Each structure stands twice: as structure tokens, then as C-alpha cells.
Chains A and B, each alone.
Chain A
Amino acid sequence: MEVSAEAKRIMVVALGKLYSSRTQRGGLRLHRSLLLTLVMKSARDIYHAAQTTAESMEEEQPSEVKMTTEASGTQELQGPASLPHLAADADAQGDAQNQDSSCLSGPPHHTRKRRGKATAEPDFLPCKKAKLEYGTAQQLIVSSVLVDYANCCSELGPSPSPIPLQTVIAAC
């Protein structure tokens, strides 16, 4: 599908930009990181909405508290409410096998810590970077409380699951 392919491409590009902005002179730019995260989330929602219209409903496993994202051989996004970069991590790993994404084929690991926000906000602590190993199945517990934003995004396409978007975030 056109839309879902474009959405995936946008997510991949956003990830690449977020990743490369860590090495930028002057430090992480909060504004830019925020915009990239928003684009990625928007693309993820559209991608997901496009997927659910194509795929059957059994592949969506809504759960109330814990969500797991698993790297699957196919390119589906699992877990509708995972944070964009974590979902995209799982997705990107599937992608890297199938796409020539030059942004992501290089570094196989991604930081779990928020790229845009928390790492730009080290008030008195140095940046900690936790690494996510490539290829291992992630049993991640992710959370996001962006209910308002999710409500806005759900106007873009049919909401994938009827439950409110409440999930637990990975503590880094």
C-alpha cells in the first residue's frame, strides 16, 4: 500500500535523523527531536491504521497493562501503543532485512533512552545510553501517556483498538 510504504519510509528516515543528531555539534536540539518524534508517531499511527485494514484482527493483541514488542520475520508492527522509537526499532529490524535503509543498516543497536527529550535534559547527570541488542526478542514494557495526541491521531484513520492508550514505559 502506498500510504503504508510511505509511512514506513518516513519513520525510518526520522530514526536516522534522530540517531545522527546525537553526534551533532551543539548537542541534541530539543525542538528538532520533538518534531521528528511527532512525525514518527504520526507515521506509525497511519502505518498501523493501514495495516489493520489489510491484516486480520487476530494479529492485533491488545493488552491492558503490559505490551510486548517482538521482532518478527514479517514487517508488522505489534503492540499498537508502543512508543514510536521502540516500535520502530522492532519494525526497523524487520526493515533492515528487507530495505536498503542506509540509516539503519550501519548501527545495529539503538538507545532505549528517549532520543529527543530525556537525553536533551540532563540537568545534572551525564547522558546514560542503554543499548538494545539487535536480534534478541524484546520483552519490553513500554508506556506512553500521550492520550490527547493519540486521540488526535486516531482521526487520521480507524482506531486500531478500542482501549485507551495506556502502557508502561521501559525504565532506563
Chain B
Amino acid sequence: VKGAMDDDVAEADIISTVEFNHTGELLATGDKGGRVVIFQQEPESKNQPQCRGEYNVYSTFQSHEPEFDYLKSLEIEEKINKIRWLPQKNAAQFLLSTNDKTIKLWKISERDKRPEGYNLKEEDGRYRDPNSVTTLRVPVLRPMDLMVEASPRRVFANAHTYHINSISVNSDHETYLSADDLRINLWHLEITDRSFNIVDIKPANMEELTEVITAAEFHPDQCNTFVYSSSKGTIRLCDMRASALCDQHAKMFEEPEDPNNRSFFSEIISSISDVKFSHSGRYMMTRDYLSVKIWDLNMETRPVETYQVHEYLRSKLCSLYENDCIFDKFECCWNELKLDPKQLLMIVCFHSVVMTGSYNNFFRMFDRDYRQDVTFEASRENSKPRSVLKPRKISTGGKRKKDEISVDSLDFNKKILHTAWHPLDNIIAVATTNNLYIFQDKLN
């Protein structure tokens, strides 16, 4: 468990995004104070071959600062909305981090050697008296304690009028998209003074606004394809080859509303808060307030699977609306488990599992193949190192069984909005308000 033990949560420490890099060795978190903390997995020790390495802090840096837009008299929050890693090309690691208005490309590099033996400078940096220099020597590189440096390499600014909610790196590794409430822009990683607008749903008359963009992601393999989700519960798939401005979607995924479930809050709970492609690119997953849906890209009329995350909240929507919880944006993730090319073993029995968070520090996993679901709680009491997480149950009906938790005793201030799954292993990272929990499955 990473993070402070206090009950008083400093607002700046609230974790706002969690993301593994492509090998899973590094885990980045962003918080409301604009900081990025990167954890690195320790190499497996020979003493304990059953346990994978622990994650320890590798680098911490301030990515974004609060800014003030003088023209509009608005403060721009420094909260990190999303972090996305770039695939590694050389010794350094690169990640994109974004707040509401500006995206930054950070380079994280290690330095473990430093030059020693300068002619004109002492070791501490003071300049030597030139008269005292009698011999010439060549500086040599000597090992030093590992230092991890983060430096901003690019700043992509001033391209979004509205608040950025998503960034997604393209499979071409050269471009990426950034999406705000009404527009999606395409950037080249090398070019900061220009971006192309590829989606614009702003109506001519803002009075006519009926939906906003809530999330966007590039297809994992096809560099011309991306999807974006809306507050109306629809997902549009766009092909950039069709035209420069992708206002016309190639496909639109929408499930007709169930008239039995109609309520005052139907619009709010149908708003999609996250969209993620499966690794294969054949499926995509969406998260709305009460459910997770799996869509087959070949079928636009309805999802192929729907999982209820916390259906017991449907009768409580009014109070969740009053305490603002109904506006919470939960994320979801797949178990990636790509076939590591270095591994010679084929993974014969491969379950597809999806994970998402809930309230009371619960998070849920849905096994798509076995049709099972499980609820876990991320709390300090339940998560001693090496202990096994016990599944939790929520009692919905009249009689509450022992060990079950009643809906009324759920703590709605403790919410898990951000979760991430290691790309190559069964390790998950789960963020509560200000703590990060890392769980791994027990190897037999």
C-alpha cells in the first residue's frame, strides 16, 4: 500500500489517475496537486521466487502547476487527468500527462555515472585558480548513486477551450489524440505548435448542446481508427482515412434504453465515463454509472455483455444525486495479459477479466469466460502484506447474512475511480482516495 496513513486526506494527495507502462515495470500515478509519482517494480529476488518484486518509488515530479487564465478569469486546475506511457524506444522512458488544458511530454531518465576529474573545476564545482593548473587530465565517468531525472520535453498547450478528459497514443507511436468536452485534436509528438482538429461536436448555437465527449481512445492496432464516448451513452467509431474532420462516424454503438428503468436520472447514469479497447481490438468496454458493457466492434445495436457493478444503487439514485456521487466517473480496465514474446509458453487457459471500482473502497472483477464476478475491498485492515483478499458481499434483500455489508452502511466517500492492470502479469493497482493498493495473485 502506498500513501499516507492519516484519515485527513489532503486534497492535493487525491489520486486522479493510475497507469502501468507497457512492460509493467513502471506504474505512474497522478494526483490533484499536479504531481506524478512513478513506482518501479523490484526485480524478483532469488530468495522468494514465488513473489514478484515490490513496487517502490522511482521518481516524483511536479508535472503541472495551477494556472490562471486572465482573459476568462478562470483558474486552471493542476490536477492530472490522465497519464499515458509511450512505448519505450531507448534507455529513457516517456510519458504524456495532462491537466484540463495542457499536455506535457516527460522524459524520465536514469543517471548512474558522473564525470569526475575536470581540469578547471573542483569536485564541488568551484572554479580552480588557473595558475594552479599544472597538468591536464581527461575527465572520467565514475559510478554514482542512481538518480532519476524527469524533464519536460514538450508542452502541448492552447489547443483546448474545454476541459481535456482523455489522451491516447496512436499505434504508430508518432501521434496521439487529446479530447475535451466538444473537440478531439490530433497531435504529432514532435510538434507542439500545431494540432489537427479531428472531431468537433460543438453546435453553432450552444443552446442546442445535448451531449459532450466523455472519453476517447485509439484502436490498439489500426492507426486510423479511434472511438469516442458521449454523455448520452453512445460510442462513435471514426476512421481518419474517410475525411480530415471525423464528424461523420463510421459506426455508432448505442443500446436502446430500457423503458422500465427510466427515471429522473436516466441521462446522468447513462453517461459513459470510460472506454477501453481490448488488447485484440475486437472488443471495447464502456463504463457508465451502474454497469460495465462489452461491445463487439462488429455489432452496433447492443453490447454483447453487460455486467452490473452495483445495481443496488439504482434505488438510491436520488440521494446519490444530492450528494454528488452520481457524477462520479469510474474507470474500467481489461486484464491485458499480452503474450510476452520472450515467453515460450503459450497461455492455454486465458481468462478475459475486466475490473472496475465502486464505493466503500470496493472494486469488482468480472470473469467473462466463467461468468463469475467478485468484489474486493481495498483497505488497510484487509490488506496486510501477503494476506489473501477475502471477497466481500453486499446484502441487498431483507435478511443480512453474517459478513455481508448492508447497502446503507456503505461509505460513499470512499470510492475507487481508478484501477489499472499489469500488461503482462496478474498484478493490479487500485487507487482509493489517496492511497494506492497493489495486489498480485498468488502463484502456486
Contacts and interface: CB of A to CB of B under 8 A. Distances in A.
A114 interface: yes
B368 to A, nearest CB: 29
Contacts of B231: 31, 34-35
B242 to A, nearest CB: 26
A80 to B, nearest CB: 18
A129 B267 CA distance: 28
Interface in B51-71: 71
Interface in B244-267: 262, 264-267
Interface stretch (B204-212, B345-353, B377-385, B415-423): B204-212
Interface stretch (A38-46, A69-77, A92-100): A38-46
B181 A27 contact: no
B209 A27 contact: no
B207 A144 contact: yes
B10 to A, nearest CB: 15
A27 B75 CA distance: 7
Given A30-B163, A35-B267, A114 B206 contact: yes
Contacts of B181: 30-31
Interface in B264-283: 264-268, 271
B264 A46 contact: yes
Interface in B25-84: 71-77, 79
A123 B161 contact: yes
A126 B267 CA distance: 30
A118 B202 CA distance: 11
Contact of B322 (A13, A46, A120, A148): A13
Categorize the interface residue count of chain A: 35 or more
A126 B262 contact: no
Interface string B188-214: 000000000000001001111111101
Contacts of B163: 26-27, 29-31
A114 B72 contact: no
A121 B271 CA distance: 21
Interface string B160-186: 011101000000000000000110000
B412 interface: no
A32 B327 contact: yes
A169 B206 CA distance: 12
A146 B208 contact: yes
B321 interface: yes
Contact of B271 (A35, A43, A149): A35
B331 interface: no
- Taking each of A26, A118, A145, A149, which has the highest tally of chain B beta carbons within 10 Å of its own beta carbon? A26
A18 to B, nearest CB: 12
A30 B212 contact: yes
A43 B264 CA distance: 6
Contact of B206 (A117, A126, A127): A117
26 contacts: A6-B264, A10-B321, A17-B324, A25-B75, A26-B74, A26-B75, A27-B75, A29-B163, A31-B163, A31-B231, A32-B327, A34-B210, A34-B231, A35-B267, A35-B271, A38-B268, A42-B266, A46-B264, A117-B209, A118-B206, A118-B207, A121-B206, A126-B73, A146-B208, A146-B210, A148-B210
Given A35-B267, A146-B210, 18 more contacts: A6-B264, A13-B322, A17-B324, A26-B77, A26-B163, A27-B163, A30-B181, A30-B209, A30-B212, A31-B214, A32-B327, A35-B327, A38-B210, A38-B268, A39-B268, A116-B209, A117-B209, A118-B207
Interface of A: 6-7, 10, 13, 17, 25-27, 29-32, 34-35, 38-39, 42-43, 46, 114, 116-118, 120-124, 126-127, 143-146, 148-149, 156, 169
Interface of B: 71-77, 79, 100, 161-163, 165, 181-182, 202, 205-212, 214, 231, 262, 264-268, 271, 318, 321-322, 324, 327
